[in-house]
Structure 1
Amino acid sequence: MMLAPTLACVATTGASAMGGPASRNDITDIQGLRVGRAESASVKTGVSVVLCDQPFTAAVDVRGGGACTRETDVMNPGGLVETVDAIVLSGGSVYGLAAADAVTAALGDSGRGYALFDMPGVPASPIVPAACLYDLANGGGKDWGRTPPYRDLGFAALEDAHRGGPVMIGAHGAGYGASAGTLPGAVGSASWRGEDGITVAALVAVNCFGSVTMPGQDDVYWAWPFEVGDEFGGRRPDVSQLADLEDWGAAKLNPGLRTQTTLAVVATDAALTRDETRRLTVMAQDGLARAIRPVHAPVDGDVVFGLASGAREIESPRPIALTRLGNLAADCLTRSIARAVHQARP
């Protein structure tokens, strides 16, 4: 069973006298990460690619019962390969996995990939994990027969990533045909640069069952305590309306199966082991719970990927430093979700 996800990505770099969003307030504030996107207006779907300029240490945390994924086993503890070359987030449920095939082929053609030995005539194997959200019932033309558009969209999104530039927030890429409860879904991103020069950032494609806004206050986001400035509207709640815990607000009230998932990628420029990267990824899942209610439901397919470039050493004691990074990753993911939906709304 393949469900529709919210996709996200978190990372760290930089330096500043006081903490605050880095220059772009998105995941491209992380040196070595680029993001590309491609969409099909007729199909109402799209693809996002997070491209690593060099291999990043990787991990994954899957909490959805119906996640649609590729190459997640390679990131489990004890696996042979500890790094990835790119991560693909796509619409299209199982059909969307073809986008990762395209990215793999293109990176392999350029000489990227893992090889146990350098052997003439034997190609390297690019490591490209992927996760897909379900947007098959959104009214777009899905009568593609044997030629779904996702391979072509994967090539186009990778080409867009090579061009660089800031993340396009709103109805773009993997979030193009998504829905967030009863509101439009979208792609969002946010970053935070700490006093110590480490930057954390997130990228997310939101396609959740739960509501991102408060009951009876559809212009107030659950993520409001984490807002920086007025990056998603600056509205604050009327606390007198928060008494009914059974009210889910703008959630999908009668969801069909295979219709929702939250996907995310979290990344850092810190020198983390694979186990430490996974702990960062696990902590970042809290960002979903802060911004979406309910979340991690049986009808969701939530996945969070984690990335670490290894460019910056973290302070000792390492567990405390990692705790701080994981918490910032969750905060950036929370903000990214609200920024995505806010930008996509009419």
Structure 2
Amino acid sequence: MHDDITDVPGIRVGHDTNLEAGTGCTVLLCDLPAVGGVDVRGGAPATRETDLLRPLYLVERVNAILLTGGSAFGLEAAAGVMRYLEERGQGFETGVARVPIVPAAAIFDLGLGSSQIRPDAAAGYRACERASGGPIEQGSVGAGTGATVAKFAGSQHAIKGGLGSASTQLPDGTVVGALVVVNAVGNIIDPRSGAIIAGAPAPDAGTTQRQGPHPFSNTTIAIVATSATLSKASVNKIAQMAHNGLAQAIQPAHTMFDGDTVFALALGPETTTPPDPAATAAQVSLIGAAAASTLARAIVKAVLQAKGLHGVPAITDQAQQSG
């Protein structure tokens, strides 16, 4: 295992990165059938196909999930992911065509680099071509290229965010993984020690006004996945529980300035054995708790591995200056 979401069998991840424009996208491809779910907690989301993942709706399986920069413009990259999957005969069979199911979420990174260049269909296709099941490049890459954090005191105090991933193996062998793009308005906290890793300065007590966060320039978007076999309702519960990982590592989280969204996937083999309700409840609770703690670790990794870009310093830059 290499401590990222590709430790879950059947998952490949690929990036498309544009450092000059300060943006990019990341795709997670499901090589095994994957039951999908989602939970949206932030007040300003930019998403695609999220209703489809809720228990009341028809389609259960997803083929890929896209995380992207470019705000709502960047959701265009999903068209490239769909084209890649269609060429390979993947998607929901409608009788006249297979329609790839590609939910997506975007962060607002238009203030870093160029606001006129955003991930498009070609970028989404390139990310699919580069997808692999090996160790995932993290930090200022893919959808995390233009991410920033700690902006409650204003964007002039921002610290570089990024993309991170982590995994956990439970005692029964079940693998739980997380992939996250951290573009939060809040501070980043080490959940083990409670120490602030990346934080905005406290407001000056001598001033009556300060520049606050831009209302649409923040969001943490994530995917958690497991090798377990779960129902669509159970996968949605895990997405809900995984949000606790944001609360553990981002303070505050789920604000009206964020579009916090967590997707969840279960890639275990199908079974015809009727589930035992008590056993299922225990399994979902254990996986959901592991998803939260794994996501919190991935958030910390995203910020620690980020590099300064377009004038926004990374934590490593600040450490070198203070040293």
TM over 0.5: yes
Supply the AA of the counterpart residue of 1:157: A
Supply the AA of the counterpart residue of 2:191: A
- Residue of structure 1 equivalent to 2:142: 173
Supply the AA of the counterpart residue of 1:125: V
Aligned equivalents of 2:270, 2:58: Cα separation in 1: 24
| Cα 1:149–1:199 shift into 2, 3 Å | closer
Q: Give CA-to-partner distance per residue, 1:234-290, whole Å, 9 cap, x none.
A: xx759xxxxxxxxx7459961112100111111111110000001111000000000
The answer to whether 1:278 aligns with 2:236 is: yes
- Residue of structure 2 equivalent to 1:126: 100
Q: In percent, how many aligned pairs have the same letter?
A: 42
| Cα 1:251–1:292 shift into 2, 3 Å | farther
Q: SS in structure 2 opposite 1:49?
A: strand
Partner of residue 334 from structure 1, selected from 292, 296, 300: 296
Q: Give CA-to-partner distance per residue, 1:84-105, whole Å, 9 cap, x none.
A: 0000000000110011111011
Partner of residue 192 from structure 1, selected from 168, 180, 199: 168
- Residue of structure 2 equivalent to 1:142: 115
- Residue of structure 2 equivalent to 1:183: 159
The answer to whether 1:300 aligns with 2:258 is: yes
Return the offset for 1:321: 1.6
Contact kept in structure 2, 1:38 and 1:46, CA below 8 Å: yes
Aligned equivalents of 2:215, 2:44: Cα separation in 1: 9
Contact kept in structure 1, 2:144 and 2:181, CA below 8 Å: yes
Q: SS in structure 2 opposite 1:310?
A: coil
Return the offset for 1:75: 0.8
The answer to whether 1:223 aligns with 2:165 is: no
| Cα 1:275–1:135 shift into 2, 3 Å | same
Return the offset for 1:109: 1.6
- Residue of structure 2 equivalent to 1:47: 25
Aligned equivalents of 1:155, 1:116: Cα separation in 2: 23
- Residue of structure 1 equivalent to 2:219: 261
Unaligned runs of 5+ in 2: 151-157, 204-210, 307-313, 317-323
The answer to whether 1:24 aligns with 2:2 is: yes
Contact kept in structure 2, 1:26 and 1:166, CA below 8 Å: yes
Supply the AA of the counterpart residue of 1:210: G
| Cα 1:250–1:269 shift into 2, 3 Å | farther
Aligned equivalents of 1:256, 1:36: Cα separation in 2: 30
Return the offset for 1:311: 2.9
The answer to whether 1:343 aligns with 2:305 is: yes
- Residue of structure 2 equivalent to 1:83: 61
Contact kept in structure 1, 2:70 and 2:108, CA below 8 Å: yes
Q: Give CA-to-partner distance per residue, 1:122-164, whole Å, 9 cap, x none.
A: 32000000000000011x12335xxx54222111111111x43
TM-score normalized with structure 2 length: 0.84
Q: SS in structure 2 opposite 1:337?
A: helix
Query: Aligned-pair RMSD on alpha carbons?
Result: 2.1
Contact kept in structure 2, 1:183 and 1:250, CA below 8 Å: no
- Residue of structure 2 equivalent to 1:155: 125
Aligned equivalents of 2:136, 2:119: Cα separation in 1: 22
Supply the AA of the counterpart residue of 1:101: A
Contact kept in structure 1, 2:182 and 2:220, CA below 8 Å: yes
Aligned equivalents of 2:257, 2:49: Cα separation in 1: 22
Return the offset for 1:54: 2.5
